Amino acid sequence: LGTPLYNDSRTPAAGIKGTSQERTFIAVKPDGVQRALVGDIIKRFEARGYKLVGLKLTVPSKSLAEKHYADLRTKPFFNGLVDYMTNGKAPVVAMVWEGKDVIRQGRRMLGATNPLEAAPGTIRADYCTSIGRNIIHGSDSFESALTEITLWFNENELADWTPSNAEWVTA
Ligand code: ADP
């Protein structure tokens, strides 16, 4: 009970900007879970050499979703967006990924917010066509990553570990 997953030299929860310990918050939204895309999305980040340090299946509370999307609260689609994230028709897969330039590269792997503008080969272009059902979220800056990681995860839910292939991925 309460045993930490890390030691005292652990990476801070939000990661370290501009290093191989940079961290981002990625979430497979309920439509991505319903459409059975969780495995493909995790596979893409793993295959790129990024390290999974946080993972959980959760139906977020309304309050969490409203905080997560606080900067969109004046948009006409805000209530619909919060309902879609929180109504429990499917959970969200919340993740924290770590590695070099992972915030910016994560956004590039996701593709544009509107899937019709997303480059072929990106997750959104490959799997969706609707901006209101774009299957995945990724932090857009270090500041957002910091806010989102601490909003969705407790520190003891993040695992600090060294992959055995680290020297072949990071130099
Ligand atoms: P991103 O998710 O790429 O960071 P935004 O922060 O602009 O994009 O928007 C957050 C989420 O709000 C989008 O991923 C999408 O699910 C939803 N959204 C954005 N614009 C619209 C819209 N015009 N209609 C419906 N939903 C939208």
**Nearest-angstrom CA–CA distance, 156 and 171:** 28
Pocket test for ligand 1, best of 71, 79, 81 (most atoms within 8 A of CB): 81
In 87-170, where does DSSP find H-type helix? 102-110, 123-127, 142-152, 166-169
pLDDT at 170 over 90: no
Helix, strand or coil for residue 21? coil
Which residue has the least CA distance to atom 7 on ligand 1? 113
Residue 35 pLDDT grade (very low, low, confident, very high; cuts 50, 70, 90) = very high
pLDDT digits (tens, 9 = 90+) for 93-140: 999 999 999 999 999 999 999 999 999 999 999 999 999 999 999 999
Does the ipTM surpass 0.95? yes
pLDDT at 3 over 80: no
pLDDT digits (tens, 9 = 90+) for 139-148: 999 999 999 9
